[in-house]
A and B are shown apart, each in its own frame.
Chain A
Amino acid sequence: MTDHAISRELPRVQEFGGSPAWVRNALIGITLVLVVFGLLSVYSASSFAAQQSGLPGSHVLMSQLTRAAVGVVALIVAAFIDYRLYRRYAWPILAAAVALLVVMILPSTTDIAPVRNGSRRWLMLGPAAFQPSEAAKVAVVFWTAALAVRKQRALGSFLGGVLPFLLLLGPVLVLIAAEPHLSATLITAALAATVLFAAGMRIRHFLLLALPIGAGVWWLVRSNSYQLTRILAFLNPDADTSGAGYQLQQAQIAIGSGGILGAGYGESTQKLHYLPEAQNDFIYPIIAEEWGFVGAMTVLILFLAWTHLGLRIAKTAPDLFGRLMATGLTAIVAIGAFGHIGITMGLLPTTGVSLPFISSGGTGLVMALGVTGVLLNVASRRRC
């Protein structure tokens, strides 16, 4: 059960050979480009609203710079932590994440987990605010990957392989949904599904699960009328010109009006209170408006490249856990990015998903950079 044993036992699997240096360099390079571009975009998208509230235009940029610095530290630290520790501590990590999630729904903790806009997503720890659901995503990836390695032979059967995952993931998802935070719930479920898919869970079991999960989502949507509005708005954005449909319309006006070359940096009109949370849930339309098709495509391609680099690192990971974990971590960024872009282009239901590396917000940025660090660690380990 030692690391040494693992490496010795896997001589035939040539794929588990670590990644060449260019993969790591490219990952670092793309990540840095996205982060720097994100800082620029956050400044452009937020300065107007900040000045409107009587703050300096660089107010959001300054806090985002601090978060980016913390994120880079997290990346470096994660790059030096042996990823196999996450397998060993997968259970405690999940337990800690669950504990945080429980804090978010306890009635007695509204001091540190206040209600904002009807939900409790933020844990206030002194000057820093932190979203436990973001941490839960990583914890779920670690745990699912770890358990999938142990149960990989049983994954073919539903009762012995799939059910144990459901028994634990189900309550975790319910906790996130209880904040309520529907998008995080769905993304977490998707992450677990991605890991299990990569681990070889049968397609028919996915289809079997799709029915009750779909019903569950429908019930959740029904119980939160604003979610229902959003879903309906996504299906027919012109029907609702004031709420969610209005946001979606404004996002499409932003993207569309960018044209091929864009309005120019800082020249977005849609950030003038047309798009709510322009520096966060709607930053991609602002980028598309200011940088045009060229810029929007570049960002899209950068995320696709990042995803493929992540998957390549997963493919050449020294062991199965590394492979499944790296796949899941890659999916954190990829699902976040493609989710955000798809939502703002009107291809997915309108819900608040931030764009990894780019959107303002500390937890997301630190987590994304930390995830990158873990991937680098995986990439650097050749069958030691």
Chain B
Amino acid sequence: MTRFGIHSTTQVEGVAGDAREAALARTHRIRHRALGVVFTLVALAYAVRLGDLQILESEAHRARQVAQSAEWELLPAVRGRILDRRGRILAAPDTRYQVFLAVDELRVGRAEAIEAVASVVPVASERRRAVAGATGGWSLVASDVSDEERLRLQRTIGRGIYFESRSAREYPRSMGRRLIGAVGSDGRGGTGLEADLDGWLVGQPGSAEVRLDGHRNAYRPLGGQVVEPVPGHDVVLTLDAELQRIAENELARALAKTGASGGDIVLLDPRTGEILALASERIDGAADQISGLSDPYEPGSTLKPFLLASLLSEGVVDLDEIVDVENGRVRIGSRVITDVHGYDTLSVRGVISKSSNVGAAKLSARLTPAVQHRYLRDFGFGMRTQLGYLAESPGRLSRPESWTSLSPASHAIGYEISATSLQLAIAYGAIANGGVLMRPSLVREIRDPFGRLVRRFDPTPVRRIISEEVSAAVRSVLEEVVRDGTGTLAGMARFAVAGKTGTARLAVNGRYAPGRHRASFVGFAPADDPRIVILTRLEDPQGGAYYGGAIAAPTSQATLKAALASDGVQVDPRLVVSGARPRPWSGGHAAGTPEGAVILASSGTGAAGSANGTGASRRGVVALPDLAGLSARAAAARLHALGFRVEWRGRGRVEGQSPAPGSEVSRGATVVLR
């Protein structure tokens, strides 16, 4: 009665039972062996399949895997820097981050996390609300976060905080922003030189092998291939940051003081054509437009020196020849040309230095239109200067075939022709440098990330226009303009300045509008060995003074003074004029007081004008630092940075200053250093 039925057989059934036992045992043996065989066969089939997959089809499967999981991630290249001619940084790369909170992954409460972020970077209230109401995903909490702030945030929050890096651009100096431009959201140059020099700056992006997971997230595998990005090149501009700041400050002052709607100050080196400063303001202009390059205008009297240069080159005039200027009124064809001051006669010098329209108009008749046109064209008018960067206008110079009988006279006094400030300045550069038109340049060098020179842009002469002699003669006349002509307010005590004023009437809707003018001064210094060309243009000044000699000349003077006192212009000390020349200063300009007087140009030139101008906050009252013992250049640089004008009357190092150190002085005032 055991449960093992097969074994509880009786003896009688034994034989038959034994046979059945044996049959059953055989069945068990066979079945058992069959199971072993089945599993072995299955394993064999699997082995075949494995060999198929892993050996024969392996490449195909690996290719499918690579296709779905391997990818190259773009590694952005570090953008090159933009430097001024002295290596001062104008634009440099900077990584900025956007901060996101993943509310579902935070270890701490949302409010706590926001407070933690807010303790490092400011968080706008609407972003706080957005995080508080988020139902998942990433919420933006802050942007424009620096690398250091990112690390601090990472430490405080830990889990649930995410950063997205953005290569940003840092512009450490406030000057030249319009010229330098900005980088677009894609990291490429968007406006200004950032856009035009993008090819040099952008560099070569690299790539890194990444693996994508099944959710399409990318990971850098250990030991994955990486092609490092090549950083962009540094661009060294011809600009001088300090001169640019001086030019911008002086232009802002002049605009504030005169109520002009816009203007330019251009500083360039006549020997090389290098632009040292280019300040442009236009109240109604587009933010990225540089009017000094893009806005051509009728230059007026500042064009007269080119007439003189053509006449002298053609040998049809003598400087001391007397011209009948008919009491400042002459009729040419249907039009009457007048002078501001009527003279009976003037020498040819006087025609220029007193800016006689009548004289210039009459002298123009000595040239054929074709010759007059050729000289203007050779000085670069009517063509782009080939600066190569930024938007540049060619101006307008019509063909002599289309000239009317009035055209020679009009061209002589700067009408019927239009030019940009840069065209005018570089043309004056040709007079200043002995007769050669230079191609203006803004970029000096390209350097690789290790500082090695990649390319140098050497000064490029375009053509010789006039002889050395003619240019020297024109220079001497222009020096006269400043010494005792219309441009005396541009004169300086220490250097002889040469230049020409211009007061053009403004055309509004095709007609010259009464009472609307353009005041300008174009000149260079020192007159005997010009190192710097200056152009000042003030468009549509309001109030009483609108003559170029009255408003553009003093602005030029202030700019030149600051420029020559700074280390931006190298001047041969032998050119310093010994002793002050007697200069007929018009009233209200205390800067003219002789012999080291304390000058606080509060009345006309500086602070008073600025207070109602471009923001009083920037132009507060500042205590003067003690500058004794500093080099002239270092002292000037410090004062410029504080917003002062500098008048240098010493030798070598600073020995005294007025006002005294510690005095509370309004910005924009002039400080005299001895």
With contacts A200-B28, A256-B60 taken as known, whether A153 is within 8 angstroms of B5 at the C-beta atoms is yes
**A260 CA to B5 CA, complexed, in Å:** 54
Q: Which of B6, B35, B50, B213 interacts with A272 by CB under 8 Å? A: B213
Residue of B nearest to A285 (CB): B53
Question: Do the beta carbons of A345 and B27 come within 8 Å of each other?
Answer: no
Question: Do the beta carbons of A347 and B39 come within 8 Å of each other?
Answer: no
Q: Which of B24, B39, B40, B46 interacts with A345 by CB under 8 Å? A: B46
B518 at interface, CB cutoff 8 A: no
> Nearest chain B CB to A260's CB is how many angstroms away?
6
**In the complex, what residues of A have CB within 8 A of residue B49's CB?**
345, 347
A-B contact pairs, 21 of them (CB 8 A): A149-B4, A153-B20, A198-B31, A250-B214, A256-B53, A256-B54, A256-B57, A256-B58, A257-B58, A257-B61, A257-B65, A258-B58, A269-B211, A293-B55, A314-B32, A315-B32, A319-B4, A320-B28, A327-B32, A334-B39, A342-B46
> Nearest chain A CB to B630's CB is how many angstroms away?
60
> Nearest chain A CB to B262's CB is how many angstroms away?
59
B1 at interface, CB cutoff 8 A: yes
User: Which parts of A291-341 form the interface with B (CB within 8 Å)?
Assistant: 292-293, 296-297, 300-301, 303-304, 307-308, 311, 314-315, 319-320, 323, 327, 331, 334, 338, 341
Question: Do the beta carbons of A274 and B214 come within 8 Å of each other?
Answer: yes
**A269 CA to B5 CA, complexed, in Å:** 58
Residue of B nearest to A246 (CB): B214
> Nearest chain B CB to A330's CB is how many angstroms away?
8
Question: Do the beta carbons of A260 and B32 come within 8 Å of each other?
Answer: no
A205 at interface, CB cutoff 8 A: no
A54 at interface, CB cutoff 8 A: yes
**A159 CA to B7 CA, complexed, in Å:** 23
Residue of B nearest to A315 (CB): B32
Q: Which of B36, B45, B61 interacts with A252 by CB under 8 Å? A: B61
> Nearest chain A CB to B5's CB is how many angstroms away?
6
Question: Do the beta carbons of A255 and B50 come within 8 Å of each other?
Answer: yes
**In the complex, what residues of A have CB within 8 A of residue B215's CB?**
273
**In the complex, what residues of A have CB within 8 A of residue B574's CB?**
none
Interface string of B145-169 (1 = CB under 8 A from A): 0000000000000010000000000
**In the complex, what residues of B have CB within 8 A of residue A315's CB?**
32
A6 at interface, CB cutoff 8 A: yes
Q: Which of B36, B46, B64 interacts with A300 by CB under 8 Å? A: B46
B116 at interface, CB cutoff 8 A: no
Smallest CB-CB A-B distances: 10 pairs:
A256-B61, A273-B214, A272-B213, A274-B214, A293-B54, A257-B62, A304-B43, A273-B213, A257-B65, A259-B58
Residue of B nearest to A54 (CB): B159
Interface string of B179-193 (1 = CB under 8 A from A): 000000000000000
A5 at interface, CB cutoff 8 A: yes
**In the complex, what residues of B have CB within 8 A of residue A288's CB?**
50, 53-54
Question: Do the beta carbons of A200 and B31 come within 8 Å of each other?
Answer: yes
With contacts A256-B58, A258-B54, A300-B47 taken as known, whether A5 is within 8 angstroms of B35 at the C-beta atoms is no
With contacts A150-B3, A252-B61, A257-B61 taken as known, whether A347 is within 8 angstroms of B159 at the C-beta atoms is no
Residues of chain A touching chain B, judged by Cβ–Cβ distance below 8 Å, are: 1, 5-6, 9-10, 13, 15, 48, 54, 149-150, 152-153, 194, 197-200, 250, 252-260, 269-270, 272-275, 288, 292-293, 296-297, 300-301, 303-304, 307-308, 311, 314-315, 319-320, 323, 327, 331, 334, 338, 341-342, 345, 347
**In the complex, what residues of B have CB within 8 A of residue A54's CB?**
105, 159
Question: Do the beta carbons of B65 and A269 come within 8 Å of each other?
Answer: yes
B42 at interface, CB cutoff 8 A: yes
B25 at interface, CB cutoff 8 A: yes
B584 at interface, CB cutoff 8 A: no
Q: 20 other contacts beyond A257-B62, A259-B54, A292-B54, with CB at 8 A cut-off? A: A6-B4, A152-B6, A198-B31, A198-B32, A200-B27, A200-B28, A254-B65, A259-B55, A260-B55, A269-B69, A272-B212, A272-B213, A274-B68, A297-B47, A300-B47, A304-B39, A320-B28, A342-B42, A342-B46, A345-B49
Q: Which of B1, B5, B31 interacts with A152 by CB under 8 Å? A: B5
Most buried by A among B1, B27, B34, B45: B27
With contacts A260-B54, A296-B54, A342-B42 taken as known, whether A194 is within 8 angstroms of B35 at the C-beta atoms is yes
**A272 CA to B71 CA, complexed, in Å:** 14
